[in-house]
């Protein structure tokens, strides 16, 4: 269930109404979901997972996204059975997988290193899981032909891995992981070794395979663009826990914490004081004494009725003003700052502004001189109120 980690480390649901729907369909689709419950794991007495809760609906393309050391790969390895949790459970379709060996789980997995057998041809690499399962030769040949076709490998079936490009080897690994038709496919940073063009090509193939086959994909990456391009569900990990989970659009437009706002798209952040909340919005006071009212929908879950908060807003949602004399209205946040850096992004520029204690970045159709004063504004319905980094607010 999409949710956000609260200051006490538990996962709060962003959409409580979904809980009732999930219970009502427990005998249907929900009964075939992957559920990770209160999973903990320590290595050398250092706990790396702190009670992870995760619900992946059947048929989702779920990506675990986060910085190095956040715990995403450890969760994947626990789901696969390569690691045993110290506490908690992993269930698929209501069946407890926690104590089962990897082979007994019936899951497919694609590794970053591909892990192909160098002495076997492409055909034999793809057929290997079917031989282990003692599938009859005729059905084995049919399956290999089908899945080689799905990843466009028919011309290469007689070649060996060292005779293939990196992208071709990746497609062999995909076909091998899918040929026995698992209920769930795990992908451990499978595109990390590919160049940008190949990554894009394989991303498109992964999306197409997911649509065609319809099984659940669980993917691990540290690349935000890749996660958003592929996924129906993104799970953001931080320090061994789930920070927030939801659709890509939800995470981008409705970050629940400052970490998510910064990690997903690099939002600007300005400290503020929440004076009061009401049906008409949240009344804030900035450090310079200005007061703003942010719409109610733009206040993140977990923010209290008053106290220290953070106002976040994205560079691409802002507008540069022609002069400081313009007054765009009371429903906007305006910032004036000295340009300290200019970055060309292709068709637009990103200006880094220093406003005397408040720094921000804004996108502009034109460059500006270093040292120039620029006025920028953001509509308040594009701003979001989240708690302080320590969970306050």
CA distance 52 to 201: 33
357 in a structural domain: yes
Per-residue pLDDT of the chain (393 residues; tens, 9 = 90+): 445 444 334 343 333 333 433 443 444 445 689 999 999 999 998 999 999 999 999 999 999 999 989 999 999 999 999 999 999 999 999 999 999 999 999 999 998 888 899 999 999 999 999 999 999 999 999 999 999 999 999 999 999 999 998 889 988 999 999 999 999 999 998 776 677 777 788 888 889 999 999 999 999 998 898 899 999 999 999 999 999 999 999 999 999 999 999 998 789 999 999 999 888 889 999 988 889 999 999 999 889 888 999 999 999 999 998 665 555 566 889 999 999 999 999 989 999 999 867 889 999 999 999 999 999 999 999 999 999 875 444
224 in a structural domain: yes
Domain shared by 155 and 193, yes or no: yes
Domain shared by 296 and 188, yes or no: no
Domain shared by 364 and 243, yes or no: no
Domain shared by 15 and 110, yes or no: yes
What CATH number has the domain bearing residue 345?
Answer: 2.40.50.140
Domain shared by 246 and 308, yes or no: no
If we measure between CA atoms, which residue out of 250, 239, 333 comes closest to residue 293? 333
Residue ranges making up the domain that contains 289: 258-387
128 in a structural domain: yes
| Residue where one domain finishes, among candidates 197, 232, 253 | 253
Domain shared by 274 and 201, yes or no: no
| Residue where one domain finishes, among candidates 253, 269, 286 | 253
CA distance 222 to 176: 24
CA distance 329 to 327: 6
| Residue where one domain finishes, among candidates 253, 281, 305 | 253
For the chain, how many structural domains are there in total? 2
How many C-beta neighbours within 10 Å does residue 271 have?
14
Domain shared by 147 and 24, yes or no: yes
392 in a structural domain: no
Region of residue 9 (left: phi > 0; alpha: psi -120 to 50; beta: else): left
Q: Are strands 332-344 and 291-294 parallel, antiparallel or unpaired?
A: unpaired
CA of 129: how far to CAs of 160, 174, 184, 241, in Å?
Answer: 17, 12, 15, 34
């Amino acid at each position: 269930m999409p949710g956000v980690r609260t200051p006490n480390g538990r996962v709060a649901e962003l959409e409580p109404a979904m809980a009732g729907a999930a219970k009502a369909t427990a005998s249907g689709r929900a009964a075939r979901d992957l559920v990770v419950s209160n999973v903990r794991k320590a290595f050398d007495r250092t706990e790396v997972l702190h009670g992870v809760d995760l619900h992946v609906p059947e048929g989702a393309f779920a990506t675990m996204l986060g910085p190095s050391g956040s715990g995403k790969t450890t969760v994947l390895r626990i789901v696969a059975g390569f690691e045993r949790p110290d506490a908690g459970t992993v269930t698929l379709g209501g069946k407890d997988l926690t104590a089962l060996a990897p082979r007994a789980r019936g899951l497919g997995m694609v590794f970053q290193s591909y892990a192909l057998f160098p002495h076997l041809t492409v055909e034999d690499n793809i057929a290997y899981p079917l031989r282990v399962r003692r599938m009859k030769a005729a059905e084995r040949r049919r399956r290999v032909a089908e899945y080689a076709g799905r990843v466009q490998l028919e011309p290469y079936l007689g070649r060996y891995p060292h005779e293939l490009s990196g992208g071709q080897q990746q497609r062999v690994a995909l076909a091998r992981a899918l040929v026995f038709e698992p209920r769930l496919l795990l992908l451990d940073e499978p595109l990390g070794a590919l160049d940008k063009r190949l990554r894009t090509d394989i991303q498109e193939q992964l999306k197409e395979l997911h649509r065609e086959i319809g099984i659940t994909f669980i993917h691990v990456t540290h690349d935000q663009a890749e996660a958003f391009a592929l996924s129906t569900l993104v799970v953001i990990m931080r320090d061994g826990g789930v920070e927030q989970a939801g659709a890509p659009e939800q995470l981008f437009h409705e970050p629940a914490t400052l970490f998510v706002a910064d990690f997903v798209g690099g939002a600007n952040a300005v400290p503020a004081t929440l004076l009061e909340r009401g049906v008409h919005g949240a009344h804030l006071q900035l450090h310079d004494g200005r007061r703003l009212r942010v719409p109610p929908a733009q206040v993140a879950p977990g923010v209290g009725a008053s106290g220290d908060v953070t106002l976040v807003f994205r560079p691409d949602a802002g507008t540069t003003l022609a002069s400081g004399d313009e007054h765009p209205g009371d429903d906007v946040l305006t910032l004036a700052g000295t340009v300290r850096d200019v970055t060309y992004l292709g068709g637009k520029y990103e200006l880094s502004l220093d406003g005397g204690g408040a720094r921000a970045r804004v996108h502009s159709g034109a460059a500006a001189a270093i040292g120039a004063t620029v006025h920028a504004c953001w509509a308040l319905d594009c701003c979001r109120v989240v708690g302080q980094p320590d969970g306050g607010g």
